[in-house]
Chains A and B, each alone.
Chain A
Amino acid sequence: MKLPQTHADAAAEFLKDTDRSHWHDDTLWHVRSKRDASAQKIPEWEQLRTLASQIKDHVLSNLDTLLLQFEKNAQANGIEVLWAKDAQEHNEHVLRILEENQVKQLVKSKSILTEECGLNHFLEDKGYDVVDTDLGERIIQFNKQVPSHIVMPAIHLKKKEIGDIFHKHLGTEAGSDDPQYLTEAARQHLRQKFIQAHAAITGVNFGIAETGGFVVCTNEGNADMGTHLADIHIACMGIEKLIPRAADLGVFLRLLARSATGQSITNYNSHFHRPRKDKKMYLILVDNGRTKQLGREDFRNSLKCIRCGACMNTCPIYRRSSGFSYNSTVPGPIGSILSPGMDLKKHSTLPFASTLCGSCSDVCPVKINIHEQLYKWRQVITKEGPSQPSKKWAMRFGGNVMSKPKLFDLMGKMARKSLSISPRGFVYNSFNAWGKHRELPEVPKESFKDWYKKNRNK
């Protein structure tokens, strides 16, 4: 069986282009700095994080009751609520709605959940032209890619490349890479799509249990352009996106955009409670592994995530390896604790794509202990047996040596001797992952134990 590509291998691909990897690193660090500046303006920032975390704790501990309350209120508002246990059922619900309403043209705003469910491919296979309307998503859709970041989907592309993509798909001037010019071209192109659309698909940032409504946040206004012109609105929501009260939005809307990009709020924060007169609104509640994650005591906190992307922007590994290296819908630190719960084998290298520095946990607006969970996933994965034979062999060997003090002393002596006389090519080769970009420390003449024995009475 072919093993899935490891994070390290995928990252090595990205790192081949040194200029791009530095640029990627700098760009995301800039976003992280903006987040810091914005958060520091709020004296009660830490209190807000604690509140948000506690609200989500309550939600997870009372999710069944809140979902029923949400459904009842949403139905009373005239919203049709559907439940989907997995991605397949979610996609089938969407397809059925489109067929029942004889929808031909549809537009979509950003939804990481529909990415997770592979909705676009599913609908394209059925002959639908799904138009992503978030500028970044439209760019990568043209380029036949998936988002490399959950808030900035096209962050891996440079403007010259986007200029080329638009030249090919929208007929912009060859070689033009001015962001203003390119955005205007996309505006004209997408306006036509909005005007023609029969249905609009959106994600959901927050579902409000007490009122049966939901909130969608954008800066572009694309979710609203879509939903207010189309006859059908389909909102796709992970079951963990619930909050108990409308007043909780005060906490979450103050945290979300500041954590994501450093803005004080997104420019559009839309509260949907009832469809327009004679129009239809559907809401699909999706499990797709979330209830399983809820049952994992060590990992259930990951379900508090509000998808701000702050952990990606701060992560030294994400910044240098890009979102694609994770090969997972949600990349970065939070993706590395969510994805192993969905498919442990496929994502077994992700919890190791971290220095465990803890910066992700420090910036998380809902205080998810991300780095601790990364460490816990490592333990789970190692117990089940590491997927890479080299690592398995090395761990077994290391464990054996370290459990036998005499053997340890002997191996130390041998290593000190052999490392000091070995030719360079013998030490720095493909078996020595550590030495790929680093020099080993200078070999000491004696072990600490020997040194201590000699010196302790001095």
Chain B
Amino acid sequence: MSSKESILAAIQKNKPDLLPLPEHPEFPVEGDLVERYKSSIKSNGGEALEVSDPAEIRDYLELHFQDSQMILSLSEVVKGNYDIALAEDPHDLEHVELAILEGEWGVAENAAIWLPEESLKHRALPFIAQHLIVLLKKDRLLGNMHEVYQSINVSDSGYGVFIAGPSKTADIEQSLVIGAHGPRSMTVFLLD
């Protein structure tokens, strides 16, 4: 008997009588989603800024980054200085300073943003970059995880990720350190 067969046989022998699978009730979220989002991402070590004009994002980039640094943007709203098409292999992204991405959905309750593979081009991009900026339209904000799973089909993409803040760790005496392996900062621009 193969291992698969013997595991399945053991389960059939040992499992209890079938118990029903519960349906998911609605868990509505009340209040101002934008404010909720901003406070959630703060707790995760990130920051969210409301902008009405894309020029504000460009000003932010000028203030925080230099043109000599590798900036890769997958957004139409702001441009970077490196073309993703040049990166054939994710290892080519090793020196990316800043990645600018567009989020598909945001969750007010925990600040998570859904990024399917198609919005990343390379799965490694939001991890290998030293800093991460995500642009999100305010009308793409949902209350909680239940709502977002109703709105997406996770298997449409070979890979998808909820990112809720920068790379962080508290493995040394529970002291929070931002920038464990991945981005040292995450800034979300909430657009009208």
Residues of A within 8 A of B (CB): 27, 30-31, 44, 47, 51, 54-55, 57-58, 60-64, 67-68, 77, 83-85, 89, 133-136, 139, 152-155, 157-159, 162, 179-180, 182-184, 186-187, 190-191, 194-195, 208, 211-213, 219-222, 224-225, 227-229, 239, 244, 246-251, 253-254, 261, 263-276, 285, 287, 291-292, 294-295, 297, 300
Pick from B24, B123, B170: contact of A276, CB below 8 A. Answer: B123
B175 in the interface (beta carbon within 8 A): yes
Q: Knowing A55-B22, A225-B182, A269-B162 touch, does A264 contact B127 (C-beta < 8 A)?
A: no
Q: Are A219 and B169 in contact (CB under 8 A)?
A: yes
Chief secondary structure at chain B's binding surface = loop
The 5 closest A-B pairs by CB, nearest first: A295-B14, A274-B158, A136-B171, A221-B182, A291-B10
Given the known inter-chain contacts A180-B177, A187-B179, A254-B145, please indicate yes or no for A247 contacting B40, CB distance below 8 A: no
Q: A83-B4, A268-B161, A287-B3 are in contact. List 4 more A-B contacts (CB 8 A).
A: A60-B15, A61-B15, A195-B94, A250-B149
User: Per-residue 0/1 for B35-56: is the Cβ within 8 Å of any A Cβ (1 yes, 0 no)?
Assistant: 0000010011100000000000
Are A64 and B15 in contact, CB atoms less than 8 angstroms apart? yes
CB pair B8 A61 closer than 8 Å: no
Encode B1-23 as 1/0 by CB contact (under 8 A) with A: 01110111011111111111110
Residues A266 and B164 in contact in the complex (CB < 8 Å), given A58-B21, A195-B91, A254-B145: yes
- List of B residues within 8 angstroms of A55 by Cβ: 21-22
Which residues of chain B from 123 to 139 have any CB-CB distance to chain A below 8 Å in the complex?
Answer: 123-124, 127-128
Which partner residue on chain B sits nearest A247 by CB separation?
A: B149
**In the complex the two chains form, is B159's CB within 8 Å of A265's CB?**
no
Query: Please, how many angstroms separate the alpha-carbon atoms of A208 and B19 in the complex?
Result: 18
Residue of B nearest to A64 (CB): B11
Q: State whether B163 touches A30 (Cβ < 8 A).
A: no
Beta-carbon contact of A211 and B3 below 8 Å: no
Q: Which of B98-136 contact A (CB under 8 A)?
A: 107, 109-112, 122-124, 127-128
Which residues of chain A are within 8 angstroms of B144 by Cβ–Cβ distance? 250, 254
Q: What is the size category of the interface that chain B forms with chain A?
A: 35 or more
Contacting residues, chain A, for B165 (C-beta < 8 A): 267
Contact yes or no, B3 A84, CB < 8 A: yes
**CB neighbours of A84 from chain B (8 A):** 3
> Hey, what's the 0/1 contact readout for B62-101 against A, CB within 8 Å counting as 1?
0000000000000000000000000000110010000000
The residue in B19, B90, B153, B173 that gathers the most chain A C-beta atoms within 10 A of its C-beta is: B173
For A31, the closest partner residue in chain B by CB is B174
B31 CB-CB contact with A under 8 Å: no
Q: Contacts A61-B17, A67-B11, A300-B16: A220 and B169 contacting too (C-beta < 8 A)?
A: yes
B155–A246 CB distance below 8 A: yes
Residues A225 and B122 in contact, CB atoms below 8 Å apart:
no
Contact of B145 with A135 in the complex, beta carbons under 8 Å: no
A213 touches B154 (CB 8 A): yes
